[in-house]
Structure 1
Amino acid sequence: MTRLLLPDWPAPANVHAVCSTRLGGCSTGAFASLNLGNHVGDEPARVALNRSQYQLAAALPAVPVWLNQVHGTVVATLAVNSTAGITADAAISREPGVVATVMTADCLPLLLCDVTGTQVAAVHAGWRGLCDGVIEATLAHFKRPAEVQVYLGPAISQAAFEVGSEVREAFIKHDPAAAQAFICGKAGKYQADLYQLARQRLAACGVSQIYGGSYCTYQQSELFFSYRRDGQTGRMASSIWLV
């Protein structure tokens, strides 16, 4: 049975959002079972079936606009005629029925909407995109960031996310307060808190309505794919749309 996660946030009634898990698809082996990524080595026919199952189970109003994600900061503006394959790591929409979607398997998915329910966005934030400003680039498309609500979807937790000193230094160069999101690990490594880093960036832009951020894709292996844990693995989706 397909298992989906519904964000626990006070979004306007016309804003719908959902995150998939790894449960409820037809893929096998490393991709078991609801793998939605068609770029990870899974059988294309199975991915296509999984995507159809996701669309049905989530009651999506249209096929998601699947992005070509490259860990960058480009934000795509989607419309009803947008097609898959746009190279971007975030997408916004102001048109009902357009499903903004990002795929992840440890990176942080963010879902955004304004409190008036006129605009939504989906963001893929790995450490590099987060450090380089993908959140700020997305918020630049909103007139009043203080009126934006954000849901932090399933990502790797600090306990499982080991990085080198160069990652820590890159974040601190942008904002010294980022040091609070790192703790010392083993052999000169650090444990990075993607959720906290994202909250810091959001707060710096004036966003205070932030929800979610309680899952760990690495540790909760029964629910989530994790690239850091398994290497070859599937991808989950996080989607948001207006009705």
Structure 2
Amino acid sequence: MIATILLSIGIVFLAELGDKSQLMALTFALRYRWWVVLGGIATATAAVHILSVGVGHFLGAALPTRAISLVAALTFLAVGLWTLREHLGSTDPEDEPQPPRSSRAPYFVVLSAFLLAELGDRTMFATAALATDNSWFGVWLGSTIGMVAADALAIGAGILVGKHLPEHVIGISSGLLFLYFGAATLIAATFPTLGVLAGAGLAAAIPALAGAGLLVRRRTRAQTAFEDAGIVTAPTEVRP
């Protein structure tokens, strides 16, 4: 049992280094309290991995990963667009949204996002494969610890980065990252034979275009507001 737990920790920890789960954890840590993010990740990981070891140990069957990936992609895209709209939609810095004070809503946001992201991910297949020849409980416990440990590193990085960036920049960066996650997931599910570099390039184009469009819109609104204010407040010229 101990050997199975250690093996699962090592495999999952190494598999998660540089994975999208770490980037998601860093993104959430920029916006929410670290213990809320870590709690949501731990709950989602435990739920997904108990499902994966059950599939591998008892059923030996796969889930409809493509449909799950499409739902996850649409969810990430919607979250990204909404976040950018919040932070680029206002022309007054004082109107920028503040981070939520309640921990309940962020917890469920993190939980649902990681549930969708991890269903059908390579980590799920790895735990299912390990559970076919090892103790399912040991694989579940070890894989959960390994993934939470890897994502905790990303949360720590997010905390350090967040201390040196203004909230407005953090919000925009979060929105762009979620757009990238959604685009990358959508491309991988729709075009599974596409190369990694090509898929990454196409996915990066989506947040770039969306961010540029919203930025142009914000500047246009700011310019219009400035001109209207100038017309109203401009002093009347007095000729001698």
What is the TM-score normalised by the length of structure 2?
0.24
- Structure (1/2) with the larger strand percentage: 1
Asked which structure has the greater CA Rg, the reply is 2
